[in-house]
Amino acid sequence: MMFEKKQITSNPQHIAFIMDGNGRWAKRQGKPRTYGHYMGTYKIEDVVRWCSNIGVKYTTFYVFSTENWKRPPEEINFIFNLLVEKIEEFYERMNKENVRLRFIGRLEEVPENAMAKCFEYEEKTKNNEKIQAILALNYGGRSEIVDAVKKMLDQDNRHVDEQTFRNYLYAPDVPDPDLVIRTSGEMRISNFLLWEIAYSEFYFSNLLWPEFSEEELKRAVEIYQGRDRRFGGIK
C-alpha cells in the first residue's frame, strides 16, 4: 500500500507570541522580576528580525493584558515606564529596518504619555512594509469582541456575519495568526486573540521569554510546516 507524502504547510505569514516567563527568568538570575521585563523588550526586536529573515510579514506580541492590572502597582508602573523610555529607541531601530509598528488593545486606558507615543510611532511607520510588529497593550480577546459589538451598535449596524464582524476588530486587515508561540511551558491562551486564533497552530516552548532563541523559532516553524492544516475539511 502506498501512502501519499505529507504535504508541507508553507511559511507562516503571521506569528503571534505570548511572551511568558520574564519574572521567573529574572528570579533565576537573582534579580527583581522587572529586570526580566527589561531584557524582554530587546527580545522583541530580535524576534521581529528573525521573523523578517524567514519571510514572515506580521508578528504580534502580548505586552500587557487587560488582566495584568491585577499585578502590584510597582510592576505595572515599571512596565509602562519601560515602554515610555524604550519605545523611542525601539521605534528608531525598527523604523530603519522598515518595520511597521502597530498597537492593539484599549489604548485609551493606558497612561497618557504611553498612549501618545504609541499613536506617534504608529503614524510615523505606517508606510513601512517589510514586516509589521503589532504590540498588544491593555489587550484582551474578550474586550476586543465586546468593543467590536459596541462599535457595531454605535453605527446601528444590524447586518452581522463573520466577515462584517471582523471589520470591527482592532486590526481587521491583518490576517489571522498561522502560528501562536507561547514561552515558559505554560499551555493556555490567557485571553489572547480569541477571535483570530480559530484555526491557528500552537507551539509551546519551555524556554522563558528572555532566553527565546532563533533556533527555537526555527524549530517552531519547522514543526508548524510539518502540520497538516485542514481548516475543518479533509484532504
Residue numbers annotated as active site: 20, 68
Question: CB–CB of 175/193 below 8 Å?
Answer: no
Which residue's CB comes closest to ligand FPP? 23
From 101, 91, 105, select the one nearest 126 (Cα to Cα). Answer: 101
Place of cell 490567557: 190
Give the binding-site size for ligand FPP (rule: CB under 6 A): 20
Look up residue 193 and give its DSSP letter. Answer: S
Q: Could you give the angle at the alpha carbon of 199 between the alpha carbons of 176 and 163, nearest 5°?
A: 55
Minimum CB distance to ligand FPP smaller for 37 or for 102: 37
181 binds ligand FPP, rule: CB under 6 A: no
Q: Measured between alpha carbons, how far is 139 from 66 in angstroms, rounded to an integer?
A: 5
Q: At what angle do helices 73-96 and 33-53 cross, to 10 degrees?
A: 30
What x/- string results for residues 120 through 159 when contact with ligand FPP is judged by CB under 6 A? ---------------x------------------------
Q: Please pick, from the candidates 14, 15, 16, 22, the single residue that binds ligand FPP as defined by CB under 6 A.
A: 22
| Stretch near ligand FPP under the rule CB under 6 A, chosen from 34-42, 109-117, 144-152, 225-233 | 34-42
Minimum CB distance to ligand FPP smaller for 13 or for 68: 68
